């Protein structure tokens, strides 16, 4: 185990090192993994909430990048130039 690892999920799909958390200091841009790990924690905590409340799912930042890129491709009509790239993600 890496001694700089601060958090790791039991599934192993979310982990973060101390240096990434240091981006939460004032005047720093927060590293995307900080947001992704926070989403993993919130998703885990969802299983313990009151079943009467609405279910939520927190997506990783990559999901937003895929959506935004897909919208830009459609907005600027880049599709003719992307013949080698498969756009399987639909919105």
Kindly report, residue by residue over 31-72, the tens digit of the pLDDT.
999 999 999 999 999 999 999 999 999 988 888 887 777 766
Q: Which two tokens stand for residue 85?
A: 């790239």
Q: Measured between alpha carbons, how far is 82 from 72 in angstroms, rounded to an integer? A: 13
Q: Say what the alpha-carbon torsion angle 49, 50, 55, 61 is, to the nearest 10 degrees.
A: -20
Confidence category of residue 80, pLDDT binned at 50, 70, 90? low
Residue with tokens 């897909």: 70
Q: Measured between alpha carbons, how far is 76 from 25 in angstroms, rounded to an integer? A: 37
Express each pLDDT in 8-25 by its tens digit. 888 778 889 999 999 999
Q: Measured between alpha carbons, how far is 70 from 5 in angstroms, rounded to an integer? A: 34
Structure confidence at residue 65 (pLDDT): 80
Q: Is the pTM of this model over 0.75?
A: no
Confidence category of residue 74, pLDDT binned at 50, 70, 90? low
- Average per-residue pLDDT in the chain? 79
């Amino acid at each position: 185990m890496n001694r700089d690892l601060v958090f790791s999920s039991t599934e192993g799909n979310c982990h973060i090192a101390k240096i990434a958390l240091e981006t939460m200091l004032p005047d720093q841009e927060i590293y995307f993994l900080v947001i992704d790990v926070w989403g993993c924690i919130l998703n885990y905590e969802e299983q313990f909430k009151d079943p009467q409340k609405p279910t939520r799912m927190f997506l990783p930042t990559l999901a937003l990048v895929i959506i935004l890129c897909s919208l830009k491709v459609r907005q600027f009509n880049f599709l003719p130039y992307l013949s080698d790239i498969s756009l399987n993600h639909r919105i």
